[in-house]
Amino acid sequence: MTDLPRTPSFRLDGRRALVAGASSGIGLGCAVAMAEAGAHVVMAARGREKLSAAVGAVRQAGFSAEALTLDVADLAGMRAAVREAGPFDVMVNSAGLARHAPALDTAEGDYDAVMDANLKGAYFLATEVARGLVDAGKGGSIITVSSQMGHVGGIDRTVYCASKHAVEGMTKAMAIEWGRHKIRVNTICPTFIRTPLTQATFDNPDRVAWITEKIKLGRVGEVEDVMGAVVFLASDASALITGTSLLVDGGWTAG
């Protein structure tokens, strides 16, 4: 009889997952997806009240979750919180910021705010989680929610694109360094996803027409479109995947 290969498990039972930016939108979707797959999810965000409501909803649905107040741009506070709560088998960083403007009109304060959240915060959150794994002698999966704009350019998005392109390079280098520790490092790169933070964009018919013309599947993204991707990268089903990006862009970057 032929011995058949078996699909690696997509389950996350017994694993602890940290999700930054988990109180709404893509971050909340990632937290729910991993909780559904059996993980205990530590949901982190800056706003205590909104985070508490999100954690309560996840628990009410029958899943395992707890709250952690955390600001990725506050490096000292973030490091202390991660060290106390860790180590984590999985980390998903969905915290980020966008302040769009023409390049010639970019204010220094906006530049610093975007870079502090999207790059500096992402960098040091990833290193702190990795440090906990290395100290514990454990492997793990580190995932940053990047963007399709980490692979292409966009009008009025020069600073945002710069931050996300940098995240893609950071991810490759971290994957090379931490591979020997069995720590995988990847990004998820969504297209325009409908969330409370992006609703203003979707309220503009001209902008929606531009988006749907660029997305080859002809529709905007929903939070649910990202949820399967994060479970895949968090689980053993992606055990040989590191240093790369999973584009959830409906074909935007294909041509």
- What pLDDT is stored for residue 10 in this prediction? 98
Q: Which of 160, 182, 214, 216 is catalytic?
A: 160
Q: Check pLDDT > 90 for residue 197.
A: no
The average pLDDT across 13-33 equals: 97
Q: Check pLDDT > 90 for residue 151.
A: yes
The average pLDDT across 92-115 equals: 95
Using only C-alpha atoms, the chain has a radius of gyration, in whole angstroms, of 18
Specify the CATH number of the domain 16-193+223-247.
3.40.50.720
CB-neighbour burial class of residue 137 (10 A; exposed 0-12, middle 13-18, buried 19+): exposed
68-81 pLDDT, tens per residue? 999 999 999 999 99
Beta strands, E only, the chain: 16-20, 40-45, 65-69, 90-93, 140-145, 183-190, 193-194, 221-222, 245-248
Is residue 192 within 8 Å of 211, Cβ to Cβ?
Answer: yes
- What pLDDT is stored for residue 57 in this prediction? 98
- Kind and range of the H or E run holding 78: helix 75-85
Its pTM stands at 0.95
Q: Check pLDDT > 90 for residue 19.
A: yes
Q: Which of 50, 120, 164, 216 is catalytic?
A: 164
Question: Is 138 part of the annotated catalytic residue set?
Answer: no
Query: How far does CA 185 lie from the centroid of its chain?
Result: 11
- What pLDDT is stored for residue 199 in this prediction? 82
CA distance 7 to 127: 31
Is residue 188 within 8 Å of 145, Cβ to Cβ?
Answer: yes
Domain boundaries, the chain: 16-193+223-247
Question: Is 164 part of the annotated catalytic residue set?
Answer: yes
The strand pair at 221-222 and 245-248 is best described as unpaired
The average pLDDT across 153-171 equals: 96
Average pLDDT, the chain: 96
- What pLDDT is stored for residue 255 in this prediction? 85
- What pLDDT is stored for residue 207 in this prediction? 85
CA distance 172 to 185: 8
Q: Check pLDDT > 90 for residue 9.
A: yes
Q: What percentage of the chain has pLDDT greater than the value 70?
A: 100
Residue 185 confidence class, pLDDT cut points 50, 70, 90: very high
